[in-house]
Chain A
Amino acid sequence: MAARLKDYASVVGTDVLQELEVLAEKVEGWSVQHINSTAVGGGVAEMLQRLNPLMKDLGIDSTWDQIEGNTRFFRVTKAIHNALHGSAVEITPGMFDDYRDHLRSQLDRMTIRGDTVFIHDPQPAGLIALKERCGGAWIWRCHIDISTPDRQVWDFLQPYVNNYDAAIFSMPDFSQELNIPQFLVPPSIDPLGDKNRELDPGVITGILEKHGIDPNRPIITQISRFDHLKDPLGVIRAYQLVRKRTDCQLVLAGGEADDDPEGPALLKEVQEKAAADPDIHVLLLPPFSDLEINALVRGSSVVVQKSIKEGFGLTVAEALWKRKPVIGGAVGGIRRQILHGVTGFLVRSVEGTAYRIRQILNDDALARQLGENGRVHVQNNFLLTRHLKDYILLMLALRHPGQDMIPV
């Protein structure tokens, strides 16, 4: 059963909950609507599954809807996503037409109910056309790294964004010169969800053994969907370098998101590379494998998130919360979560990844210290309750445009 707001007191403290309640009184009865493109798969859907009920617990009339999409539309939005990340992607004018046509078809289908409407990511951004008809405050919540966007794609998207009342980015680097206010709201993890809650050691061992992983030997783990931007092939190469000197196993576990047509091809390539080594475990996990993921991370000696581009990379916060040392690509939000040498290590190459894995596997005291620091860092910055607070403050800020000092 989903945790209720009061359950969080044991993790975040009663003072944090009291503060949330005080702020929520200021927006009591306001309605909020979140719209994204998928109900399952990917970090955005996961976060909304948790945020939405807690907003309701705070007395906010919160709903969550998805636009409909087909393969053709998601192929376009995946290309847009990759191009905004700065990857070289060919986008034809016809693809922009497909985006416009599909969004147009959604305009009549969607019912707008919120005083405040949060539109998540580029897929539904075109729904802003409904603002004039439906009113309310509209916020474009960008979850991806657009620090170096493909100019053609950003030029296409920007006019939509400029029609919103505000935009939210996860990192200062992602902000753009826009005509509207922009806010910094990092995403968050749910400490009480199945993916992060405490587990009995027996449960952890049982899940490792179920997958043929030896709990008594070092385990390197990357949890992420099978996507080139997460560089699973680079993680295998790093593991192979470590393996020359240090006994270890590698776990690559993740799922596929509904809106990612490139996943299966990469997964096949990873499986082919892994086939020759029984200590590489490639686990394609179905949706709702949160408990499984939790156990895999808790059973790991070191967690890797070797992304080449990253919107935020919440898998890092999830591992830090479990007091795991984390090695991450020095990109996007990973740079905000991994304080180099304090909560983990930032790397830029396969060699660097292998070096840091060896360093951690050979130094228990270092591993412990990084893990403890990581826990504190997440507690202070990346828990769901902070995210809720930021959203409420944003709702209030939009009622006081241009004011830096707002009495509440």
Chain B
Amino acid sequence: MAGGRKQTDLKVGKERPAGFRFYTERRLVELTGLRAGNLKELYTILRTISGSSIFYHTHEVFLQHHFAAPSFRNDFAAWVTESLQEIHLGEELAGIDIREFMSIRSLRLRILAILRTHMQHHPNLRQAAPEDSFHFCKARSFFMPTHIEAKDLATFVEGMKAISKSSLFYHFFAARFRFGKRSNDFSSWLRKIGELEVGRAIDRLDPYFLDLEEVRQRTLAIAEEALERRAAG
């Protein structure tokens, strides 16, 4: 059964909860052909652009390799800072806690509200150089099950070691918005099999400030520590 998909409801019967099938995804970037050169254009396009474009510009960066600490891991914040020199606005946009949002719709409204307020107070628009326009993209996501399945905490650890970064991205970021959940797929499943503490601890990680490899290492540390404690009695 897919992580984050229908699971056996523990409250209903004594049926064993299903295992956790790790999924992975591959992404193909689609270009919308829409570009913004100033805040007004950014605002106008953001009002109607597809939700998958907003997801792309707030998440795709996590799939990329970072040679150094990036300025902001949010394309909108990075663009207004670097190309428009709107540094205060950049901080406001970067400061959006994406984990608070369960839908792209509400995230969109928050971004629009920040832009609207800023433009009301700063009516003179700065224009980006033509080669620095903001190009709206989105991704087509092709998702598929891997051959890896966890039955319990020990096999979950094995799975976590084996899966790709794309799989981590899918379960930590993509599935959360897709199914309108507050938590990541792993924590949801771990709670269902009774691993409440482990599930909660993983949920407290903030993947928006970590590389996916760091997310993997910290998740493993939490799960392995629980297993060791259990083994020690």
Contact = CB atoms under 8 A, between A and B. Distances in A.
A143 to B, nearest CB: 15
A389 B26 contact: yes
B140 A175 contact: no
B144 interface: yes
Nearest to A176: B33
Interface of B: 26-35, 50, 52, 64-65, 67-68, 130-131, 133, 135, 137-144, 164, 178
Contact of B52 (A175, A184, A404): A404
A11 B30 CA distance: 28
Given A182-B30, A185-B28, A342-B68, 6 more contacts: A15-B164, A148-B130, A182-B32, A343-B67, A404-B50, A407-B142
A15 B148 CA distance: 14
Given A175-B33, A182-B33, A405 B28 contact: no
Specify the main secondary structure of chain B where it touches its partner.
strand
A376 B66 CA distance: 10
Given A173-B131, A339-B67, A397 B140 contact: yes
A175 B28 contact: no
Contacts of B64: 380
Contacts of A376: 65, 67
Per CB-CB distance, the 8 closest pairs between chain A and chain B, nearest first, are A172-B135, A175-B31, A184-B29, A393-B28, A182-B31, A177-B33, A404-B52, A175-B33
A335 B35 CA distance: 18
A339 B67 CA distance: 10
Interface residues of A, number: 39
Contacts of B130: 148
A19 interface: yes
A168 B121 CA distance: 40
B33 A183 contact: no
A317 to B, nearest CB: 15
19 contacts: A15-B164, A19-B164, A22-B144, A23-B142, A172-B135, A172-B137, A176-B33, A177-B34, A178-B33, A184-B29, A185-B28, A389-B26, A390-B28, A403-B140, A404-B50, A404-B52, A406-B141, A407-B143, A407-B144
B65 A377 contact: yes
A156 to B, nearest CB: 19
Contacts of A183: 28-31
Specify the main secondary structure of chain A where it touches its partner.
mixed
A238 to B, nearest CB: 22
Contacts of B144: 22, 407-408
Nearest to B24: A19
B30 A184 contact: yes
Nearest to A177: B33
B52 A173 contact: no
A128 to B, nearest CB: 19
Given A148-B130, A172-B137, A405 B178 contact: yes
A393 B142 contact: yes
Contact of A380 (B32, B65, B133, B135): B65
A215 interface: no
A407 to B, nearest CB: 6
In this complex, which of B131, B138, B142 has the most chain A Cβ atoms within 10 angstroms of its Cβ? B142
Contacts of B29: 183-184
Contact of A342 (B31, B67, B133, B143): B67
A380 B67 CA distance: 12
Contacts of B34: 177
A22 B147 CA distance: 11
B28 A408 contact: no
A324 to B, nearest CB: 17
Interface string A22-64: 1100000000000000000000000000000000000000000
In this complex, which of B67, B68, B130, B164 has the most chain A Cβ atoms within 10 angstroms of its Cβ? B67
A249 interface: no
